[in-house]
Amino acid sequence: MNDTVQTAVVGVTGYAGAELARLLLRHPRLKGKPPVFAGRVDEADAARGGVPLAEIHPELAGTPEVASLKQEPFSWELLLSRGVEVLFLATPHEQSREWVPEALSRGIRVIDLSGAWRLTVEANRAIYNFDDDGTDLAAATQAQAVYGMPELHRNQITGARLIANPGCYATSIILPLRPLVAAGLVELDHGIVADAKSGVSGAGKAATTKTHFMYAADNLSAYGAFTHRHTGELLEQIGLSPCDITFTPHLLPIPRGILSTIYLRFREPQTRANILKVYREFFANSPMVRLYDKALPQIQYSVRTNYADIGFQIANDSRRAVIVSCLDNLLKGASGQAVQNLNVLMGWPESEGLA
């Protein structure tokens, strides 16, 4: 176990970046050792040493430590001179494809919040259309990546050099489904339906025609049917084929939060007690998963926390089930899970700085 570590964050200007900064600045293991913040800085701001963090995110202002912090012009020399050991990348997929191999070559471990290194199957990665896919360097980098879901891959994360942080939708569906599929309880031939709804922050900070107020407010829209980038994560991490699951995401007119409703059929009749037993055994050492014994989760219960909430109901025929999963897309679906991965990586209590 390490007492502390020097971290760096690239991509602090976004929604996930803001949450990542907040969590790392308040993490008890990182007191007196704030992250290095680096990124794109224009010439005028570079002349003053960077952009003050309190200007980028005024909500973080109020402590002397934050007052002295800036987003500095990114360079590998900056990171190495500050002794950075773990680099968080809250950057676009393409940027992470370029920078992760470079960071690894310099001995810096990476927790990447993008989708650049999540997928091991070439057919699943094809949706990203990465220019470097198929090259020796990309293959060697992918071979080092561990899918950063501690509830599934805790042991591998401990010694990882590259942690590929999961997608938000994927987290909300993998966690409730993996235990049941792994136990052989789900009738896959019947098909699984995952109906997922996310707040607008899941689309990122840059406004689009479908995320500005006049489109999203008082509206609910489906998108990405059969084509969403997180589908490959579901297939690989749950152990499904494309015909086993239908996943459709929806845009909710709220700032943050995900609610996924999953419909499935069991191979044999099941009791509530048996399904609870499967879940409790699977998540016995997972402090960031909360199981609801009777009521179903709601977004308001998990938003602004790092918990993934799971609840379910079984039909009178004992064969059909509805599972509801909720989480905060910016925390357990992004930055909170990244810090959870840091805790596991460093041998710290998994929920430290999060619960």
CATH 3.30.360.10 domain residues, the chain: 168-327
The CA–CA distances, whole Å, from 214 to 154, 170, 221 equal: 42, 28, 13
- Burial class of 73 by CB neighbour count within 10 A (0 to 12, 13 to 18, 19+): middle
Distance in angstroms (rounded) separating the CA atoms of residues 217 and 199:
11
Q: What CATH superfamily is the domain 7-165+334-346? A: NAD(P)-binding Rossmann-like Domain (3.40.50.720)
Please tell me the pTM assigned to this model. 0.96
User: What CATH architecture applies to the domain 168-327?
Assistant: 2-Layer Sandwich (3.30)
Neighbours of 136 (CB within 10 A): 8
Neighbours of 212 (CB within 10 A): 11
Bridge partner residues of 253 (DSSP) = none
Neighbours of 54 (CB within 10 A): 17
Distance in angstroms (rounded) separating the CA atoms of residues 244 and 191:
5
pLDDT at 12: 97
Rg of the chain on CA atoms, in Å: 20
pLDDT at 38: 97
Query: Nearest-CA neighbor of 159 among 173, 144, 171?
Result: 144
CATH 3.40.50.720 domain residues, the chain: 7-165+334-346
Query: Nearest-CA neighbor of 298 among 284, 310, 306, 315?
Result: 310
Residues assigned a catalytic role: 168
- Tens-digit pLDDT profile for the chain (355 aa)? 679 999 999 999 999 999 999 999 999 999 999 999 999 999 998 999 999 999 999 999 987 789 999 999 999 999 999 999 999 999 999 999 999 999 999 999 999 999 999 999 999 999 999 999 999 999 999 999 999 999 999 999 999 999 999 999 999 999 999 999 999 999 999 999 999 999 998 878 777 877 888 888 889 999 999 989 999 999 999 999 999 999 999 999 999 999 999 999 999 999 999 999 999 999 999 999 999 998 999 999 999 999 999 999 999 999 999 999 999 999 999 999 999 999 999 999 999 999 7
- Contact between 278 and 179 under an 8 Å Cβ cutoff? The reply is yes
pLDDT at 211: 82
Neighbours of 33 (CB within 10 A): 15
